[in-house]
Chains A and B, each alone.
Chain A
Amino acid sequence: MTAPESTLHGVFAALDALQAPGPRCVMFMAASRGEGVSTLARIFGEQCAWRARRAALLVDLDLLRNSQCQSFIDSGVAVAESADGRLAGASFVKAVQANGVDAPMEARRLRIARVGDQRLYVTHFDTQGLKVDVRLQISNAADYWRAARAGADYTVVDAPALSRSRAGLGVAPHMDGVVLVVSGAAGSAAATLGLKAELERRGAHVLGLVYAHADRGVTLLERFFQRRAA
């Protein structure tokens, strides 16, 4: 478990700078695993909840692990009894049979729960009793996200790393912006360039990047040089 020590003012600033006013959907995504996307998305979700007049929604695209919900529980935050996670009858998850035909899925599987007494809601997905021949798929449809904007001021999507799943790529075009999470980990440069190119090819708007796992020495050094240059 890691604890961040940073602010994400820049992300809000970038969202605020977008032309059309209104509710915002933003996705955090990285090229490789371990960059800290989930942690950043959770922090950002909480910050959004503070700023939101109505509510903030934290969407976990990692259906099998439900790490967002679990981490709130693990950190001792009470998560309320979950309700049906579909918004206006739309879901971002669909079940597909082996032959490619959509399969019916029980309504109870996609759930939504309030985090403590915050105006933050987090999704989780119940995989219990799922048939073996049914495959879960993230929908490319826009209706869920339209509904989310109607109900929440901020929708924060925690997408799995591209190296694990391409789920985020389908959702990205429906977002107001995508935040790339990068770090100094080996090989991250080429992978992130690839991710950015892929996102832009699909019409997603890349807001900018968050540099995770930053070294304090490096940060101070950079700040010093930037001040000198200014």
Chain B
Amino acid sequence: MSPKGSARVAHVNALDLLAMLWRERRTAALAGLVILALGAALVVMTPRSFEARTRLLVRMGQEYVFQPRVGAVGAGAMPRIEAIINAELRLLESPEVARRTIARVGLKRLYPDIAGAGPIAQAAAEKAFARDFTAALTPDTPMISLRFAHKNRAIAGHTLDALVAEYLAYRRKILIDPSSNGYAEQARDFARRAEVSAAEIRALLAESSVADFDGAFRSATDLLARLDLDRAVAAAERRGLEARASALRKRVAAQSAEIELYADTDAEKSAGPSRRGPNPVRQALETELYQSEAGARAQAARETALGAQQFELAARVRTLQQIEPRYRDLARTHMILEDNARAFTARAEEASAFSALQAVETDNIRQLEPAQAPLPERSLRLEIMLLALAIFGAVAGALIRGLGRKSFPTPSSAARTLDAPVLGVALFRRAA
């Protein structure tokens, strides 16, 4: 700015500003009053709402403790309480909880203005609910503070209580019930599959006309071994008998059929030609031979019968051997399934007992007090802010007007601006 240009403007210092404020006190008062009046009107016209409050105390609960479905590795591990509180917060803010709460309190009762909005009413109500409801952590304490604002004080409290109830029901559903259902379902599934595998085994055995695979297999192989032995014994006996018969046959051939009969006495010897008769030795040998031959034949017949039996049994063993891998496989699967079914049935029983307990006492979430909207306190914060704003407005208004006058707020400012001494100050007053 050129010196000449700056000379066109009154030089103003802090004192001048104070003087300006004093001179423009009417403007200041007017500006302040206008701001106060507008603020008061705003406060009066703003729809009043009541904020119901309640608190939830969150403690470590069973549902957060890790219970492995299978086995016991890692059992008992639990998250930190902060994580739990955060999880509970998310649950509280879930749209599903809001939906259920709105349904419980009644859309018409809760948001009569929105209820008539037709198809979008539900969505609009949920949006409004999300706006009116706040869930917040309380620092350093395992607590969640809940607030719900509503024009009607009673509805505000009632809605917040309803929300807590719905939330507790919803979290039971989310956290507790599914696991017990799962156990029972798993147990049922295992039992069903065990049943199927048992039927398969039965069908397989029926195919081979076996009632008990292991017994049948064992007895068949045992029998086969004994038959082998019996047949070998029979063959040995037959060969022995045949050898004896052959020896006897030679001896029989060596004996003549008839021999001179001997007189016991001389008289008999002198009596005529000597008498001839069958050879008794030969007869005895022949008898023995016949017996041996018959024995050998009998052994041969036995041998044949045993061989037939052996063939038949070997075929059976082969059949059993063929189905054995499949049978073993099925049997193993069946055993595992049965074991699991048993284990899960036990778990399911345990879990259902546990959730039955949980259902009656949600011990780890406690509502500290019934929701209630306090009567609005006379907080002076708003008033103080309004007052500060009014003062600011008053000062600003006075200064804007004072500076806008482009005049000399004080004699000294005139002297500085005009570069001339103050020779006198005249206090003019209206004469009576």
What is A's interface to B at a CB cutoff of 8 Å? 1-11, 13-14, 36, 39-40, 179-180, 182-190, 192-193, 196, 206-219, 221-222, 225-226
Contact = CB atoms under 8 A, between A and B. Distances in A.
A11 B428 contact: no
Contacts of B422: 10, 208-211
Contacts of A184: 23, 405, 407-409
A121 B418 CA distance: 32
B23 A209 contact: no
Contact of B426 (A187, A196, A211): A211
Per DSSP, chain A at the interface is: mixed
B430 to A, nearest CB: 6
A225 B423 contact: no
20 contacts: A2-B428, A2-B430, A4-B427, A5-B429, A6-B424, A10-B421, A39-B428, A179-B423, A183-B408, A184-B407, A184-B409, A185-B405, A188-B406, A189-B10, A189-B408, A207-B423, A209-B422, A211-B410, A219-B411, A221-B19
B413 to A, nearest CB: 8
Contacts of A216: 427
B426 A180 contact: no
B409 A218 contact: yes
B367 interface: no
A209 B318 CA distance: 140
A187 B405 CA distance: 6
B431 A3 contact: yes
Contact of B431 (A1, A196, A208): A1
A5 B430 CA distance: 11
Given A4-B426, A218-B22, A211 B408 contact: yes
A5 B427 CA distance: 5
A36 B407 contact: no
A193 B414 contact: no
B18 interface: yes
Contacts of B423: 8, 10-11, 13-14, 179, 207-210
B9 interface: yes
A153 B418 CA distance: 29
A164 to B, nearest CB: 19
A209 B425 CA distance: 9
A104 B9 CA distance: 46
A189 B401 CA distance: 15
Given A5-B428, A10-B424, A219-B411, 15 more contacts: A2-B430, A8-B423, A11-B423, A40-B424, A182-B414, A186-B405, A192-B408, A193-B418, A206-B420, A208-B421, A208-B423, A210-B426, A211-B424, A212-B428, A221-B19
A230 to B, nearest CB: 13
A114 B301 CA distance: 191
Contacts, number: 149
Nearest to A6: B426
Contacts of A6: 424-427
A188 B421 CA distance: 17
B411 A192 contact: no
A188 to B, nearest CB: 4
B406 A186 contact: yes
Nearest to A36: B428
A40 B423 CA distance: 12
Nearest to A229: B15
**Most chain B beta carbons < 10 A, residue from A10, A210, A218:** A218
B412 interface: yes
Contacts of A2: 428-431
A5 B9 CA distance: 29
A193 B417 contact: yes
A214 B427 contact: yes
Contacts of B429: 2-3, 5
Interface in B378-432: 404-412, 414-415, 417-418, 420-431
A3 B424 CA distance: 15
Contacts of B427: 4-6, 214-216, 219
B21 to A, nearest CB: 10
Contact of A14 (B15, B406, B415, B421): B421
A57 B407 CA distance: 32
The 10 A-B residue pairs whose C-beta atoms are closest, nearest first, are: A10-B423, A211-B411, A189-B10, A208-B423, A208-B421, A186-B405, A210-B424, A6-B426, A188-B407, A218-B19
